[in-house]
Copies of this chain bind each other. A is one copy, B any other.
Amino acid sequence: MDLHELTRQLNTKNDSKIVMYVGDGLGGLPQHPGGKTELETAQTPNLDKLATEGISGGSLPVAHGISPGSGPGHLGLFGYDPLKYLIGRGALEATGIGFELKEGDVAIRANFCTVDDAGNITDRRAGRLPTEESAPLAVKLREVSIPNVEIFVEPVKEHRFVLVLRGTGVNEGKLNGNVHDTDPQATGVPPLAAQAAEPDSKVTAEICDEFVKQARVLLAGQPKANCCTLRGVASKPSLPSYEEVYGLRAAAIAVYPMYKGLAQLVGMDILGEAKTLDEQMQVLKENWDAYDFFFIHFKYTDSTGEDGDFDAKVKRTEDYDAAVPQIMELGPDVFIATGDHSTPAMLASHSWHPVPTLLWAKNCRPDGCDSFGEDQCLRGGLGQFEAKHLMTLALANAGRLAKFGA
């Protein structure tokens, strides 16, 4: 019996509210030996107070030593085992630009490339042509027409675009992501033909080839982007919804498309068009009565970490803290502050270190923590735990889980 079999069986409804407030890349490292981390350096009086009343711990997004991307990082927080639910690269790319994938869709990361008269690739990234040049070309590719397939082409950045194939008519429900990349990962050779990895992927592979064939006609004469390669072919991941597994009406309040997309994959409603944390809090307030669970995503603890800017991450962590009272005054029953992974400024990248996590609710067993930071979390009452367990703890603390067994 896995976690979701448990929560499907045990979840009960009440009028409690759960808020999961995610500071992306929240965990860090000291800037110098003996020093403090970004979170420990930041002034976070609001989170410190909640840590004193609640319970703290260290969340392992996937497993010991594994540095996750945003996809597995968030799936873990949402309670979906990131080693079981894998999101293909194409599906994640489409999700990341806000494309709403439907059941049966196949999403593909595509690159413009340059080929010579013999059809051999001379530049796998078409000279990294600027987005102003590549975006109109991507839009032009919407002219490709293949029977029984709806085709979506969405510009991304520079040489990249997203291709989504949606089967219609005889192809409805027949397409899938088991097709190998057509990028040969080399120059001086032609793009590969699309190869089906499984017999039932032949139709999808043929459509991929037909797309590239027509694209070459549409791109003929372009100085740089006169061809394209297809990579990371992936079916829309099939994830049970929050309503199904937890009995929760769930909503996401995020600024960036990637996080809206990930939330959508687990059936959350995407609320508002907030561009700032204050606007996110406004959206939360306006929708407070309509949902049981809110996922609020704050990006800048990660982006400053990725930039390797310790001080900026400290500042952004203080912004993250400063918004907390706006959540708490709404009276949530369970409040969780955590991250999808650590992004220490010292590493300027996602890392494997446990993520500081605090859970505040009425019936937390006291753990002696009196501030929110990596060192305190290490000694906290939640111990070190895999992120996928956090949702079960949230439900329990919200009084939404019945007893297991008699």
Chain A residues within 8 Å of B, Cβ to Cβ = 1-3, 6, 10, 29-30, 33-34, 37, 53, 58, 62-73, 82-84, 86-87, 89, 92-93, 344, 346-347, 349-354, 363, 365-368, 374-375, 378-379, 381, 383-385, 389-390, 392-397, 401, 403-406
A352 and B395 alpha carbons, distance in the complex (Å): 11
15 A–B contacts, CB within 8 A, in A order: A1-B84, A29-B363, A30-B366, A64-B385, A65-B394, A65-B397, A70-B405, A73-B405, A82-B405, A89-B406, A92-B406, A349-B403, A350-B403, A352-B393, A368-B375
A353 and B383 alpha carbons, distance in the complex (Å): 12
Copies in the complex: 2
Query: Known contacts being A6-B83, A363-B347, is A65 close to B30, with CB within 8 Å?
Result: no
A93 surroundings in chain B (CB, below 8 A): 406
Per DSSP, chain A at the interface is loop
A67 surroundings in chain B (CB, below 8 A): 396, 401, 403-404
Q: Is the CB of A389 within 8 A of B64?
A: yes
Contact among B1, B350, B397 with A83 in the assembled complex (CB-CB below 8 Å): B1
A393 and B60 alpha carbons, distance in the complex (Å): 12
Query: Known contacts being A65-B393, A84-B1, A363-B29, is A70 close to B353, with CB within 8 Å?
Result: no
Q: Is the CB of A405 within 8 A of B29?
A: no
Which 9 pairs from chain A and chain B are nearest by CB? A65-B392, A65-B396, A64-B389, A69-B405, A383-B384, A72-B405, A65-B393, A69-B406, A71-B405
